[in-house]
Structure 1
Amino acid sequence: MSSDVLHASAVVLRICTAVFGGYLLAVSLGATMVHTLPLHRAEAVDLSIALSFLVHAAAALWAFAAGTAMRAAVGVLGPGVLLGLLALFLAPTGS
């Protein structure tokens, strides 16, 4: 592959990481916060939604500030998946 194709694919990976990985991280953190914060449920939801915008923006910045596209993807998707699993574990069962 030529270097132009490799560079373009790295940019596309960073864009996808910023958009979709940032969304995954923000939603996962918000869901985890709702179940762990010692607040009333409505206040925990409000706080987690407000902070999720900051997290998504920080993830987008990280996606383009990381040294390589793979490091950016792992740095955003790794914590997003772990927090998502934690949120699923902490979610109350419907019974």
Structure 2
Amino acid sequence: MRSFVFASAALFGLAACGGGGGSNREALVSACLDDGSTDKETCECMADSAEKNLSDDLYGKLAKAAKEGEESANAMMEDLSPEEQGQFMSFAMQAAMTCGAT
């Protein structure tokens, strides 16, 4: 299960350099694009899906990790409660199907 959570984080390119400043949505889109494997339309779809489907707290954690880069992303994923992990995995699977991420 843990490996799936880390794989899900890669959907946003959280292991990239980080999404920089700006709004939470902009940070998520930027981090996704920095990954280099996803087009802008898919990244925007996934960022919108995160905002719509994650709790405010988890969305904020994800955006913070996207802004701060790899270390923050790894720490966030390790610190999620089992309930948050479930919510994140559910979101990641739904977003991947809806947005066409590979």
Query: Could you state the TM-score of these two structures normalised by the residue count of structure 2?
Result: 0.36
Q: Which has the higher contact order (CA 8 A, sep 6+)?
A: 1
- Structure (1 or 2) with the larger CA radius of gyration: 1
State the TM-score, normalized to the length of structure 1: 0.37
